[in-house]
Amino acid sequence: MRAFIEFKDVSFSYDVEDAQPVPVLQHFDLAIAQGDFVAILGHNGSGKSTVAKLCNGIEIPQSGDVTVNGMNTKEEENLLEIRRHVGMVFQNPDNQIVATIVEDDVAFGPENLGVEPAEIRRRVDQALRDVGMYDLRFSEPHKLSGGQKQRVAIAGVIAMQPACIVLDEPTAMLDPRGRKDVMKTVQMLNRDFGITVLYITHFMEEAAKANRVVVMDKGRILLDGTPREVFQHDDALRAAGLEVPQATELSLLLKRDGVPLSGSILTIEELSRQLEELLS
């Protein structure tokens, strides 16, 4: 599969007034394949949110290149097209909803793109059905729960018919239920619509649902692989200030104590199945 978003030797630092610029990324390379579901894991300050902002030209690297579908984010005239292709969902749902009615908010993106009114109507209805918010289309956003608001934000992005969605800790402010709903929606978009997903999080259980996990620490890539591969390196993850999913952690501890568990274990179901077999 070809790369949809590509970081080539990217260095980025934030300017701080009256002080040395703070380097966030140094000689960073990453390629996101089209249709993939990639989770970026990292502790606070690991540079993972910066990666998100570089994806659609909100931030421009000081050196190196970020290309989206072959378009460089450095070129001003590409930006609108890039932002149409790469939708973005942020952490705080309140600060990304623009309109006072759900369906008007979903329409905001297509309206900016100058889509025909009838076509906007169709896309808005479809997007709201896709995220399961169609029944609440006339509601006022501030009366919705966090998970519902975040799904409205996702609908607003998919109404622009992007090829890729970047989600920057979309569930950090949500309760467990809202977290589950958002994750389910994102998985559906990836599976059914083939939308490339870049999911930035610090929740292990969410990262475990991705096809590929990239672990970042201090602006570098620490680990990169399938969730099963990555979570075997529990020591490296802990050193980066991250936890391993509980089932994986327990299985690794048991293995070290000589319990003959096979393969790498990711979910509670897998672990309990193996333990059951061993005990019977």
Partner 1 sequence: MLSDITIGQYYKAQSVVHRMDARMKLILTVLFIVIIFLCKNFFSLAVMFVLTAVSILVSRVPFRMFFKSLKPIIPIILITAALNIFYVKKGTELLSFWKISVTTGGLSTAFFMAVRIICLIMVSSLLTYTTVPTQLTDAIERLLSPLNVLHISVHTLAMMMTLALRFIPTLIEEIERITNAQKARGADFESGRFLERVKAMIPVLIPLFVSAFRRAYELSFAMTCRCYHGGEGRTRMKQMKLSAVDFAALGVFLLSLAGVIVLNRFFQAMI
Residue 6 C-beta: closest distance to partner 1, Å: 19
111 vs 249, beta carbon nearer partner 1: 111
**Size of residue set near partner 1 by CB under 8 A:** 40
Instruction: Write the interaction track for partner 1 spanning residues 218-237; mark x where CB under 8 A is met and - where it is not.
Output: --------------------
From first CA to last CA, the distance across the chain in angstroms is 44
Q: Is 147 in the site for partner 1 (CB under 8 A)?
A: no
DSSP 245: P
The CB-based long-range contact list for 244-248 (8 Å cut-off, 24+ gap) reads: 244/204, 245/204, 245/205, 245/208, 247/271
- Considering only residues 47 through 106, tell me which ones interact with partner 1, judged by CB under 8 A: 56, 58, 80, 83-84, 87-88, 90, 92, 94-101, 103-104
122 vs 255, beta carbon nearer partner 1: 122
Residue type for position 55: C
21 vs 117, beta carbon nearer partner 1: 117
For residue 137, give Cα distances in angstroms to 79, 104, 131, 181: 30, 9, 11, 17
The answer to whether the beta carbons of residues 156 and 84 sit under 8 Å apart is: no
Reported in sequence order, the residue ranges of the chain that DSSP labels E, i.e. its strands, are 3-14, 22-33, 37-42, 63-68, 71-72, 86-89, 164-168, 196-201, 212-217, 220-225
Instruction: Write the interaction track for partner 1 spanning residues 186-215; mark x where CB under 8 A is met and - where it is not.
Output: ------------------------------
- Residues with Cβ within 8 Å of residue 210, at least 6 apart in sequence: 37, 38, 39, 197, 199, 227
The secondary structure element, H or E, covering residue 250 is helix 246-256
* Choices 7-15, 42-50, 155-163, 208-216; region in contact with partner 1 by CB under 8 A: 155-163
Residue 269 C-beta: closest distance to partner 1, Å: 37
What does the alpha-carbon distance between residue 137 and residue 124 come to, in Å, rounded to a whole number?
Answer: 9
160 vs 183, beta carbon nearer partner 1: 160
Residue 113 C-beta: closest distance to partner 1, Å: 6
104 vs 249, beta carbon nearer partner 1: 104
Residue 214's SS3 state is strand
- Considering only residues 111 through 130, tell me which ones interact with partner 1, judged by CB under 8 A: 111-117, 120-121, 124
Q: Which of 39, 157, 215, 266 binds partner 1 (CB under 8 A)?
A: 157
Question: Which parts of this chain interact with partner 1 (CB under 8 A)?
Answer: 56, 58, 80, 83-84, 87-88, 90, 92, 94-101, 103-104, 107-117, 120-121, 124, 140-143, 156-157, 160
